Amino acid sequence: MGPQNSASRDTMFDAVEHILRTEGYAALSARRVAEEAGFNHQTVYYYFETMEELILGAFRRRVESSLKRLEAALASDEPLHAIWRLYSDSSNGRLNIEFNALAMQNEALRAEVVAFFETSRSMQEAALAPLLQGRNLPDAVAPVVPAMLILFVSNFLDREAALGVTKGHNDMQAFVDWCLRSFELAPQPSAADRA
């Protein structure tokens, strides 16, 4: 197969993402990717033996980028707000939906999606545990719970907005901001308070 670190591979990955965002996974084919990338369809098969390999490559590139952005968000002064901004980026909504739809039909991609979610949740859990520690929260509020709630709310708002439904969105965003700020700005209890 073609060189692993070539500009042509990245161009094809970009084409996969563009097609998924604008036309959906049903439009994804070697011919369509080649057309979008400006190549002939044989070039796709020079770099990738199958369409599955191309899709997995595009998803892996996306995972690498997403984990770097998540790592930066978790290292920020306001990690919960940074996660909210990361997950609320509407340019990713359709692409995520299409990759997930593909994963429902492709076992190899499904395994990659599951591994991504498990890795990202482990990163969030480790980074958010100190933020939540000693706040007298119920045991049900594990460190990963706020990040998962952020993901679920932002995904739902994104899906509604894609349909044209926005009623209540500003109110929900204000409420989320208030909740996140209450975690991030609340002073950490002292050792005496925890005793």
Q: What's the domain range around 20?
A: 1-49
Query: pLDDT for 85-98, tens place per residue?
Result: 999 887 788 888 89
pTM: 0.85
Query: pLDDT for 145-162, tens place per residue?
Result: 888 999 999 989 988 888
The answer on 88 and 163 residing in a single domain is yes
Q: How confident is the model at residue 194 (pLDDT cuts 50, 70, 90)?
A: very low
The answer on 158 and 125 residing in a single domain is yes
The answer on 64 and 44 residing in a single domain is no
The answer on 17 and 39 residing in a single domain is yes
What total number of domains does the chain contain?
2
Could you tell me if residue 195 is inside a domain? no
Query: pLDDT for 159-179, tens place per residue?
Result: 888 888 999 999 999 999 998
> Which pLDDT belongs to residue 67?
97
The answer on 24 and 69 residing in a single domain is no
Could you tell me if residue 192 is inside a domain? no
Could you tell me if residue 191 is inside a domain? no
pLDDT at 189 over 60: no
Could you tell me if residue 109 is inside a domain? yes
The answer on 154 and 128 residing in a single domain is yes
Q: Encode 101-155 in three state secondary structure.
A: HHHCCCHHHHHHHHHHHHHHHHHHHHHHHHHHCCCCCCCCCCCHHHHHHHHHHHH
The answer on 111 and 158 residing in a single domain is yes
Are 10 and 58 spatial neighbours (Cβ–Cβ below 8 Å)?
no
